[in-house]
Structure 1
Amino acid sequence: MTDEKPYSQACENNKQVILEKLATVFSGSGTILEIGTGTGQHAVHFATNLPHLTWQPSDHPSNYQLCEPWLSEANLPNINEPLALNVIADDWQVPTISGAFSANTAHIMSWPEVEAMFRGVSSNLQLHEAFCLYGPFNYNGQFTSASNRQFDTHLKQQNPKMGIRDIDELKRIGSDNGLVLESDFEMPANNRLLVWRVHGT
């Protein structure tokens, strides 16, 4: 039943605008790894509307089964079973992928986990393949809105290791792993969609 499924209002609010960008970035066929699938709402929406792709959900080992009610109800042929993925693992043990996507993860991961995410994405993608990262980001060490500043404070109260990441720091770890920021799209509610492309180290 619908009321038994986990639900994220943020996913409902942003899924269509993200889809419009993903449809352009991931225009070819292949498997897309979603890091931090959460409820599964994004996975279902994207797999439904991008039938040329196979969607590979994944999440932290403590959370990766959260999406199963949504996936089971949708019963789509192009969504794989969700994988338990700890980004700090040396070997992610994911199938061959041709792209990666993650939404609202960088600010809830610790910084070493963010670095590990970029490292793992880079090691699993081939030249010119893309990694799309959605969420709020800072620029030149500054918050882009008062609401983002408040959100960052809220995150740090929960866990000092969390917080909104600065684009310059992300560019640095991207560069260290052969990922170049190709596009930076403005999105609703003071969010961005960053498109990183593998250019080799």
Structure 2
Amino acid sequence: MTMTAALHSPAADRNKQVILDVLLKALPRRGRALEIASGSGQHVAHFAAAMPGWQWLASDPSPQALASIAALWPEGLTPLQLDVLQSPWPLPASHQEVDAIFSANMLHISPWATCAALMQGAARHLTADGKLLVYGPFIVPGTPTALSNEAFDADLRGRNPAWGLRSLVDVQDEAKAAGLRLVNTTPMPANNLMLEFQRSET
């Protein structure tokens, strides 16, 4: 009966392996990780199965998403109800300090304030060498935006004026204000990017 609560995202099925490939290259073999806005839970379940040295904590503000995560990973995952705009984040003792924070496809389907909140939360909870990895479509100034991304952006803004694809420069500015710097940008399929942030050097 639990499985009936599981949501399904075709996009998550398509991109979970290519995202995992980047995580395996970017991260060490062991650590603690937090996923922000886990949605259906397809990503975190896939990552946890393929990264046995990592302790993953999934999170989402939606009760429906939390039920889906638990259904996809019935072996004991207890997802956390967390809205990135909460301050402080209500993280358990096991994940007050984490080696990685991952978020996919959140910034363009939430208000712009979530970007600053994500960066500030990452700065509070990442270890000294920890990484924030952010996946999704972005507008890169000076680079032509794919027609599919332009159409997607228009569709998002039509549904909610507070949504829309974010400028990579604006995202970097919010990261810098929180004490993080962009250290790597990986092109991904379907005109997406993986952004990798770490603490700024002092």
TM-score norm. by structure 1 comes to 0.90
**Unaligned regions of 5+ residues in structure 2, if any?**
none
Cα shift at 1:122:
1.0
Superposed, 1:1-201 pairs within 5 Å as: 5-60=6-61, 63-76=62-75, 80-94=77-91, 95-96=95-96, 97-140=98-141, 144-199=145-200
Cα shift at 1:199:
2.3
For 2:20, the aligned partner's letter is: L
Q: Within 2, Cα distance between the matches of 1:12 and 1:120?
A: 27
Cα shift at 1:134:
0.2
Cα shift at 1:72:
3.5
Q: Within 1, Cα distance between the matches of 2:74 and 2:125?
A: 27
Q: Within 2, Cα distance between the matches of 1:12 and 1:68?
A: 18
Q: Deviations over 1:158-184 (max 9, x none)?
A: 110101000111111111111111110
The root-mean-square deviation of aligned C-alpha atoms, in Å, is 1.9
**C-alpha contact 1:64 1:82 (8 A) present in aligned 2:** no
**C-alpha contact 1:180 1:196 (8 A) present in aligned 2:** yes
Cα shift at 1:29:
1.8
**Structure 1 stretch displaced more, 68-77 or 93-102:** 68-77
For 1:68, the aligned partner's letter is: A
State, as a whole percentage, how many aligned pairs show the same letter: 34
**Structure 1 stretch displaced more, 64-73 or 161-170:** 64-73
**C-alpha contact 1:178 1:199 (8 A) present in aligned 2:** yes
Against the structure 1 CA distance between its residues 126 and 7, is the aligned structure 2 distance closer, same or farther, given a 3 Å change threshold?
Answer: same
For 1:74, the aligned partner's letter is: W
**Unaligned regions of 5+ residues in structure 1, if any?**
none
Report how many residues are paired: 197
**Structure number having the greater helix percentage:** 2
